[in-house]
Amino acid sequence: MVEKNKEYVVQVISQGYEGEGIAKINESYPIFIEGALSGEVVRVKIIKVNKNFAYGKLMEIIEPSINRVEPICSIYKRCGGCKIQHISYKGQLDFKWGRVRECIERIAKLDKEIVKYPLGMTKPLMYRNKVQLPIGMFNGQLRIGFFVSRSHEIIDMEECFIQDDIANKIVKLTREWIKKFNISPCNVDGEYKSSGVIRHLMIRRGFKTGEVMVVLVTNKQELPYKNEFIKVITNSIPEVKSIIQNVNSKNTNVILGDKLITLWGNDTISDYIGEFKFNISPLSFFQVNPMQTEVLYSKALEYANLTGNETVFDAYCGTGTITLFLSKKAKKVYGVEIIPQAIDNANVNAKENNISNAKFFVGKSEEIIPDLINKGIKADVIVVDPPRKGCDISLLNAISKVAPKRIVYVSCDPSTLARDLKILDENGYKAIEVQPVDMFPQTAHIENVALISKIK
């Protein structure tokens, strides 16, 4: 057992799911060390002791890993957005590959060799097309940036290296506007103040169109000096096509409210994934890395192996992005999503792209899909793209009863993917291949797409 506040020299033997180093004083007691890398010898101070594990603070790197690099961002350690920026990009891909393989082997009880090496980016920086930044006053100083991990403190940010450079310019202009006209934030020293005006700044940019949307999230509908804000933004950033005010008066961690007011320009901006055009509103879900989204969806389409004669169900279809990709090779695609606004967007997107063989339904996939079956509609291929918690067990059981030839599973969490692959394996399906796609370089997150086939 280790002692709190005592220092130890340890060998880091592996990486945890969030990229933290793991060392062991003995064979059964792990120490989690943020910032340490596998293979390193480090000096660590124990800051928290639990019965089965401890947390340590990295004090000194005695023998560095060959994968260690100097982070380009000065605030990355506190920001929490780019937790593995200190790892070379090849090292990041190796880490993510190992994480997926470990989940497939340990949780799904499948051969880890089905996991292919991650598809990464040539330039793994400035890839985000959307950023949401809290605004607050701390010790009398204005801050626009990101929250410190597990707190309401905001780290002031001048430049973020994973978001579009235009977003950095808009942050600077917004900061100057707030200071010049003394616009009061709602976040004051980490506490919510209902008397404040401004809460968040959101920026979206179309990767292929270059169109930019600026959203000010406010506590109330009255927004002082809004014309001055419009003027400074539009005069400085010609790519801006939309400036919108979003009103959220609730004391909540949810960023956006329901009320939208277009202050200037269009209600939406547009962008493309592959050949398909999408109109994006402040409330629209749209993947934040459009370059890798195209890679991910192309792999999903490849796994679906459509000939033009198939009927496809797309569960958790969102705004219909994967559905449209599938529609160009399928006979008919049925998209199901529980959020009504997403289905509204999906129908608009289908119409915008002249897609006539896609039909969308609002509701739970585990309820809608069995109902479609009862009406005589049988799927040859089913695509699922669930949230982080994975598929509902009732949906997996419904899919097994449908008995499609193939299932394509798009996942944002290796653990829940592995859990669901195990359930499908027990229901007569075999995972043939899992392809990780690095949608979020500099972070520990990894997207996956899996090909699953019916055992004859």
> Any idea which residues carry the catalytic annotation?
412
* Rg of the chain (C-alpha set): 24
d(CA 4, CA 104): 35
| 141-147 and 130-138 beta bridge pairing | antiparallel
Nearest to 417 by CA among 398, 447, 390, 380: 390
Which of 204, 252, 188, 197 is closest to 221 using CA atoms?
A: 197
Judge contact between 181 and 249, C-beta under 8 A. no
Phi-psi region of 115 (alpha: psi -120 to 50; beta: other; left: phi over 0): beta
CA-based nearest residue to 395, from 362, 430, 370: 370
3-state secondary structure 60-94: EEEECCCCECCCCCCCHHHHCCCCCCCECHHHHHH
- E strand or H helix at 29, and its extent? strand 29-33
Pick from 51, 81, 40, 57: which is nearest to 6 by CA? Answer: 57
CA pair distance 78, 226, nearest whole angstrom? 32
Q: Is the sign of the CA dihedral 402, 406, 408, 413 positive or negative?
A: positive
Q: Among positive and negative, which fits the CA dihedral 12, 15, 18, 23?
A: negative
Question: CA triplet 18, 24, 25: central angle to 5 degrees?
Answer: 145
